[in-house]
Amino acid sequence: MASLKIFINHTEIAFTLETEKNAFEVVTGILTWIKERNLMLSSLKIDNKTVLYPPLAEELKRLELEKIATIDCEAVNVSTYSASLCLTAGEELAILAQALSESHLKTYMEQISKKLTWIRHALLQSSTMLALTQLFMPIIQLLKELESHLYKISRGETPFNKAAIDTLISQALTLLNDHFLLLQTRALTHDLKLLEKIKSDPTYTKEDILTFTTHLKYETYPLLETMGKWTSKIATYFQQDKTPLALALLTDLTGAISLFLTIYNLDTDNKAKKADIVEATKPLEAILKQIVTAFEAEDYVEVSDLLEYELTPILSQFTEKLPKPPNKVQAITEKARSSQAPTAL
């Protein structure tokens, strides 16, 4: 029993076992600690063997602690993980749509079903932790409906209808894309707080802080790409008189732009470079103010025009200005996050 070692984010932790008898009970304790810190288990290995997550309770209950040498977990910020899940789900659905045929379903239905089930469960857990269950539930229900439909086709209970399947996939992809910006924003907000923690920790050097700051700026690149897509999407929704949906997405967009400006304006030792950064952000700050003014005046035609013809080209310019990620950042990030590891279960 004493030989059992637990690692969280590559850091061995001290722990005290009380009544735990199997892997399920130990993992449950780890999950509780992780959840309390707004983190989420992203991977789980037992004796270097990857366990599908979310893990099956019965599978873990059969693993007695006396027979286990190591439990290795990785925990990530729940927003980061949820955003990653949305991206993964979108990629898997896109691949499925391209490869879909009746023979393909009959051959690979078991693998497809397992993957869709895994995505549904993970999205449900992450949305619960983020208090976004209501937002995610339509996606989860669509994925469940898609899985059920594909299963019936594979069993010959329902005729193969690619148009119907494509419709379900298209609806799921639309919902995933609509939520992706919100999740990206939350993930970056978490890392921004992590930077503040690093700044206040004397064990980090000035170079460490600058390295992580540079990394954080680079991490806004995917955010910029999403914002660029959303400007035309929101403008289209306004033009189609889908005002409530457009307004909901616009709120997320303006929040994302504000966060981007905060990160992009993070301090730097180079005064000349800092002056360039301030100058570069002026057009974006100006257009954001115009959008807010038009929004408050309920001039949605003006909002649509500003998004489509003014904001989009400004956002595209920033992708060329973002720094490349330094190689050291992974070690710094892991150090910052592993310091949150528990000392006991």
Higher pLDDT, 250 or 326: 250
Question: 110-131, pLDDT tens digit by residue?
Answer: 777 777 887 787 778 767 766 7
pLDDT given for residue 293 in this prediction: 93
Amino acid present at 33:
W
Q: Are residues 155 and 108 in the same domain?
A: yes
Q: How far is CA 187 from CA 85, 112, 315, 321, in A?
A: 12, 28, 20, 22
What residues make up the domain containing 224? Answer: 201-337
Q: Encode burial over 139-159: b for 16+ CB neighbours within 10 A, e otherwise.
A: bbebbeebbebbbebbeeeee
Q: Is 344 within a domain?
A: no
Give the CATH number, domain containing residue 40. 3.10.20
pLDDT given for residue 268 in this prediction: 59
Q: Is 77's pLDDT higher than 80?
A: no
Average pLDDT of the chain to the nearest whole number: 79
Q: Are residues 41 and 165 in the same domain?
A: no
Question: How deeply is 199 buried, as exposed, middle or buried, from its count of CB atoms within 10 A (0-12, 13-18, 19+)?
Answer: middle
pLDDT given for residue 139 in this prediction: 86
Domain boundary, last residue among 77, 101, 120: 77
Higher pLDDT, 126 or 328: 126
Q: How far is CA 249 from CA 169, 190, 232, 291, in A?
A: 21, 21, 11, 13
DSSP of 181-203: HHHHHHHHHHHHHHHHHHHH-TT
Higher pLDDT, 310 or 37: 310
pLDDT category of residue 305 using cuts at 50, 70 and 90: very high
| Cβ neighbour number for residue 79 with a 10 Å cutoff | 24
Q: Is 182 within a domain?
A: no
Helix (H) or strand (E) holding 243: helix 243-264
Amino acid present at 205:
T
Q: Is 152 within a domain?
A: yes
The 3-state DSSP class for residue 291 equals: helix
Higher pLDDT, 220 or 105: 220
Question: 255-294, pLDDT tens digit by residue?
Answer: 899 998 888 888 655 565 667 777 778 888 899 899 989 9
Q: Is 289 within a domain?
A: yes
Residue pair 75/34 in contact by the 8 Å Cβ criterion: yes
The 3-state DSSP class for residue 68 equals: coil
pLDDT given for residue 153 in this prediction: 83
Average the pLDDT over 40-53 and give the result. Answer: 80
Alpha carbon 311 to chain centroid, angstroms: 24
**How many domains, in total, are found in the chain?**
3
Average the pLDDT over 154-183 and give the result. Answer: 83
Amino acid present at 142:
L
Domain boundary, last residue among 134, 160, 175: 175
Q: Is 75's pLDDT higher than 60?
A: yes
pLDDT given for residue 344 in this prediction: 43
First to last CA, the chain: 15
Question: What share of the chain in percent tops pLDDT 90?
Answer: 6
Q: Sort strands 5-8 and 70-77 into parallel, antiparallel or unpaired.
A: parallel
